[in-house]
Amino acid sequence: MNVKILQRSIWQRIFGISATGKPQDESGWHYESGQLSISLDRIPELTRSGTAVRFEGKSLPVRVLVVFGEDKQYQAFHNRCTHLGHRRLDYVPGTETVQCCSVGKSTYTFGGDKVHGPAPQPIHTYPVEVGERELRIRIS
């Protein structure tokens, strides 16, 4: 597999600054009983293929990266690289991969398998259930 490296400044990589933003409308999602629910009406960032949003905070027990790939399929990941520092992940547009925001550039397939970099283990993926204008992601 040919790995595409995200273009980031050395400072972004050293400090682990994620290129993926949080949702503009924080009220468009909630976590309850082990499930992350996302309203696509309130989080339109996930309605255009080739986009990603990171979810963290509130009562969510882990950080979650949600990608709406160019194949028009949703993917969800535990947003934590398995390398030292456990940095956040970013979607790599034009590919079916996510990449650590740090200097190591560990890269993983949509299935969670590592294909590049120093990370010792795969990342955890979550199943995404697509409903009527809503995504449901079982975290636990």
Give the pLDDT confidence score for residue 2 in this predicted structure. 83
Domains of the chain: 10-138 (2.102.10.10)
CA distances in angstroms from 123 to 29, 41, 119, listed in the order given: 23, 29, 9
In this prediction, residue 1 carries a pLDDT of 73
Buried b (16+ CB within 10 A) or exposed e, 51-87: bbbbbeeeeeebbbbbbbbeeeebbbbbbbbbbeeeb
Among residues of the chain, what percentage have pLDDT more than 70?
Answer: 100
**Chain centroid to CA 54: how far?**
6
Number of Cβ within a 10 Å radius of residue 94: 10
- 16: confidence class by pLDDT, cuts 50, 70, 90: confident
- pLDDT tens digits, residue range 53-99? 999 999 999 999 999 999 999 999 999 999 877 899 999 999 999 99
